[in-house]
Amino acid sequence: MKNPRWFVYNSKLMNSLAPNIFSDIFTENKKSMFKNLSGLILAALISVNVQGQTSNTSTKLPPNMFQKKLSNGLDVMVVEDHTVPLATIELAVKNGSYTETAEYNGLSHLYEHMFFKANKDYPSQEDFLNRISELGIQFNGTTSFELVNYYFTLPKYNLVEGLKFMNSAIRYPKFDKQEMAKENIVVDGEFQRNESNPYFALSDEMNHRLWGDLYSRKNTIGNHDIIRSATPAKMDSIKNRYYWPNNSLITIAGDVKHDEVFENIDSIFGDWKASGFDPHKKWPVPEFKPLQKTDYFIVESNLSRVPLVMMNWHGPATKDDIPATYAADVFSFIINQNSSKFSKALVESGLALQVNIGYLTLKHTGPISVFVVPNPNKIQECMAEVKRQIALWDTDNYITDEQIETAKRQLEIHQVKDEEITSDFTHTISFWWASASIDYLNTYIANLRKVNREDLKQYVRKYIKNKPYAAGMLISAEAKQQLKPETYFKAN
């Protein structure tokens, strides 16, 4: 997986319907968020208690992983993989849309873009890019709900210089006014490209219905006016709130030796002064209010070839209910199989073209989403059957023991396979560090194995069955006129 457990959204449904839109709706990324993010580590399957080199922290780590915390609060992780002579440097910050009030909506993303511009040591964009070329760096950055991360992959012999380069960019950005004026347009252009996709309108309206007055906290792409009017002063404000060592993680992965890496990190980043406060206590994320009633809506788009229905619930948060996140993964995997009762009742029967369920793991209320592409000639019957199936999800015979065990085994295999590319695994580490913890990462498979039928039933009853939800339909004006979904696509 490449941002773990987002893989449940990586369905034929979303790949065929909207291969690009959701990458920037949910995580400003040059790659799609819905593709598999690098999974949990192979060595996590081995029952070995290795603390590696730690300072003021302790967690079970696989033999090739080592953890340390500097005196300034900077978390450091090293993953040794000597298969190819490359190293990846990734710096993650607990920032993103969840930290954004309406007047800052989209600026975590803009800040990410400005990271790759001039700084104190490289005073122009040309200087910055020349250094990138000299060090043989491939680079990128992403902005998501609860994380902003920046990463370089380069030849291992340039690691120390790469660390110095990262240090300059993260600690001493210039936020040149002219460069910002250009980048404001670039970032807003990405926004406009998303809007040209018909599925943007459905997803955006869904976010408004799900999150209400906290919409900005779940909207990574931002607001046109805020992005275009952003100033260096606002970038400084973000830096002064969140860009501190005690709110950051640096991961070094590849053909490296952990003891040498720790020594170099301490030398280069050790004098980065801590903030003296916890940003998330000083500027706490408001609690997302539970939905009070079921809410249906219809979005028209003449670019929509077939109707699409989304049903979303408020799901578990890792800060409140970690056990339910494991059950969510197992349940979603089972329901998404062609052999599931859900799929047979809808797709095999001809009522729907495609169906999918997903849960996005977050520290602050992850959404549970059901996607349905109904047969255009049977939309009313299809939606009635969707509701009937959901009402059965917690019954004893809806899921078999074999399905539960197969799901756990297949999820485990996913983690092992997807861990193979170390440069991607750094993204996995960053994601879990921000949205759960490193402990969650390293004990995930062990906890997944514990999931049983009662856990699945409890998950459904606590978060889905008979709980308020938002349901949206995307449909063309012509189809809407013919099918009149407003007569039946509504709350009872």
pLDDT digits (tens, 9 = 90+) for 203-243: 999 999 999 999 999 999 999 999 999 999 999 999 999 99
Residue type (1 letter), 97: S
- Mean pLDDT of the region 466-475: 98
- Which pLDDT score, from 0 to 100, does residue 49 have? 29
- Mean pLDDT of the region 21-40: 31
- Which pLDDT score, from 0 to 100, does residue 389 have? 98
Q: Please write the tens of the pLDDT for every residue from 60-78.
A: 788 999 999 999 999 999 9
Confidence of residue 18 (pLDDT cuts 50, 70, 90): very low
Q: Looking at residue 422, what DSSP letter applies?
A: H
Q: Where do the CATH 3.30.830.10 domains begin and end in the chain? A: 6-282, 295-487
Provide the H-helix boundaries in 120-257.
125-135, 159-171, 177-195, 198-211, 224-228, 232-242
Q: Please write the tens of the pLDDT for every residue from 94-111.
A: 999 999 999 999 999 999
Q: Give the Å distances, CA to CA, from 105 to 29, 110, 140, 201.
A: 17, 10, 21, 18
Confidence of residue 8 (pLDDT cuts 50, 70, 90): very low
Cα 93 from Cα 76, distance rounded (Å): 12
CB 284 within 8 A of CB 109: no
pLDDT exceeds 50 at position 31: no
pLDDT exceeds 80 at position 33: no
Highest mean pLDDT among 25-34, 46-55, 246-255: 246-255
CB 315 within 8 A of CB 367: yes
pLDDT exceeds 60 at position 13: no
pLDDT exceeds 70 at position 386: yes
Q: Please write the tens of the pLDDT for every residue from 151-193.
A: 999 999 999 999 999 999 999 999 999 999 989 999 988 888 8
- Mean pLDDT of the region 396-401: 96
CB 62 within 8 A of CB 438: no
CATH number of the domain at 295-487, please?
3.30.830.10
Q: Please write the tens of the pLDDT for every residue from 279-335.
A: 999 999 999 999 999 999 999 998 888 999 999 999 999 999 999 999 999 999 999
- Which pLDDT score, from 0 to 100, does residue 122 have? 97
Q: Looking at residue 351, what DSSP letter applies?
A: S
pLDDT exceeds 60 at position 3: no
Is the sign of the CA dihedral 185, 186, 188, 194 positive or negative? positive
Q: Which of 22, 225, 213, 277 lies closest to 104, judged by CA?
A: 225
Cα 89 from Cα 353, distance rounded (Å): 43
Is the sign of the CA dihedral 148, 154, 156, 157 positive or negative? negative
Confidence of residue 26 (pLDDT cuts 50, 70, 90): very low
Which option is the CATH number for 6-282: 3.30.830.10, 3.90.1300.10, 3.10.20.600, 3.40.50.620? 3.30.830.10
pLDDT exceeds 50 at position 52: no
Q: Percent of the chain scored above 70 by pLDDT?
A: 88
CB burial of 94-113 (b: ≥16 within 10 Å; e: otherwise) equals: bbbbbbbeeebbbbbbbbbb
Q: What is the mean pLDDT of the chain?
A: 88
Strand 352-359 to strand 367-374: parallel, antiparallel, or no bridges (unpaired)? antiparallel
CB 478 within 8 A of CB 302: yes
Residue type (1 letter), 171: R
Confidence of residue 195 (pLDDT cuts 50, 70, 90): confident
Cα 393 from Cα 76, distance rounded (Å): 42
- Which pLDDT score, from 0 to 100, does residue 59 have? 56
Confidence of residue 56 (pLDDT cuts 50, 70, 90): very low
